[in-house]
Amino acid sequence: MHLNTSPASPLGKPCLRDMAQLTSPTGLLPAAIVPLMSPKQLKRRIREINVTHPQYQEETPLVWAYEIKRRRRLSGALQVTVNQL
């Protein structure tokens, strides 16, 4: 397993390999499940992963930030348009 942090050292840079493992379909935060979770549940799951799997401490904030950004972008009001021919 690729470790780029230790509990005593400050957080390092995110690793693409760890990010891919974290968000893979069999990972701890599958990309297909994250959009279905409430922000409260997602935050709790990220805290749990940071405690139990410290090698992902650099990547979990990226998952959180991306999901919040995605939700803000898609939270606009839906508009109905009619095309008359």
Q: Please give the helix or strand (H or E) that residue 42 lies within, else none.
A: helix 39-52
CB 31 within 8 A of CB 70: no
User: What b-and-e string marks burial along 2-18, b requiring 16 or more CB atoms within 10 Å of the CB?
Assistant: eebbeeeeeeeebbeeb
Distance CA 20, CA 59 (A): 9
User: Tens digits of per-residue pLDDT, 27-80?
Assistant: 999 999 999 999 999 999 999 999 999 999 999 999 999 999 999 988 877 677
Output the pLDDT for position 5.
53
Q: How many CA atoms within 13 Å lie on the side-chain side of 2? A: 12
> Where are the domains positioned within the chain?
16-74
Only one residue has tokens 């009001």, namely 77
Output the pLDDT for position 84.
78
Q: Which residue has the higher pLDDT, 62 or 85?
A: 62
- pTM over 0.95? The answer is no
